[in-house]
Amino acid sequence: MISFCCPSRGRPELAKRLVDTATETQKGDTEFLFYLNDDDKKLEEYKDLLDEKHYTIGPNQSTCFSWNLMCEKAKHDVVMLMGDDVQVRTKHWDRLIVDEINNYADKILMVVPSDGRRKNKHLGNETKLWPDEPLPAAHFAVHKNWTRTLGFLAPVYFWHWHVDSYTQKVARKLNRCLYMPTVEFKAKKILHDDAGKQIRSNFNIAERDQFVWTKVRDRILNADVKALKTFIESRTE
């Protein structure tokens, strides 16, 4: 039903946990697509824990490029932008997500599951289109109609940061951002391991992505919204 696109570095045990929790709770057949770095000190541990079909090994590069490369390899029509720190907690989560996307003839919908954090309980328990307030959407699902129309899963304008916020803004302008608190993808940010330190200590990445977010975002965002809107309209003619 769904393909997980997930860069991972220095966290083989978390990648395995993601596979296990998703598999234990799935209804259909989840495809796992991890992008691993060839300079990762724990690469051999990944090879021991994961099936060879579940990973691609390549140079250390932007997180967004890794997400998009895995999306290109995905066999399923619905793809999820994932982090390796997720535990899937909801039975038949894949069926629930795909059914929501299939409610739209054009399949253009961003589905945001709950991240399981207590601080987000105020968002409520109702599955609904989300109009304004930004959601904690580090992980989300879209159909390949979305990725084919824009040419990417993770916006290519960024290196690592603002991916979820940007995608949400696009989806909300289309009134196609769906919050699903009934599906829990429990996530916990890990700041102090090798992968977390590498991203957070590289200020060039943060400054670059922040520049795009503040100076260029609206112009490119409007173009992406227009492209998706044109696709939606073409399916209603």
Answer whether 0.95 is exceeded by the pTM. Answer: no
Helix (H) or strand (E) holding 141: strand 140-143
DSSP label at residue 213: I
**203, 163 Cβ separation under 8 angstroms:** no
Arithmetic mean of pLDDT, 16-30: 98
Share of the chain above pLDDT 90, in %: 75
Looking at residues 154-183, what average pLDDT do you find?
94
pLDDT band (50, 70, 90) for residue 190: low
What pairs with residue 33 in β-bridges? 5
In this prediction, residue 102 has a pLDDT band, given cuts at 50, 70 and 90, of: very high
Above 60 in pLDDT, residue 218?
Answer: yes
CA end-to-end distance (rounded Å), the chain: 28
Q: Residue 148's domain spans which residues?
A: 2-234
What CATH number should be reported for the domain holding residue 84?
A: 3.90.550.10
- CA atoms 219, 221, 226, 227: torsion sign: positive
Mean local confidence (pLDDT), 151-159:
94
8 A C-beta contact, residue 157 and residue 214: no
Classify the phi-psi angles of 175: left when phi > 0, otherwise alpha if psi is within -120 to 50, otherwise beta.
Answer: left
What are the tens digits of pLDDT across the range 80-91? 999 999 999 999
- Tell me phi and psi for residue 188, to 5 degrees: -135, 115
What values do phi and psi take at 89, rounded to 5?
Answer: -115, -10
Domain count for the chain, please give it: 1
**Of 150, 155, 169, the residue nearest 62 (C-alpha):** 155
pLDDT value of position 144? 98
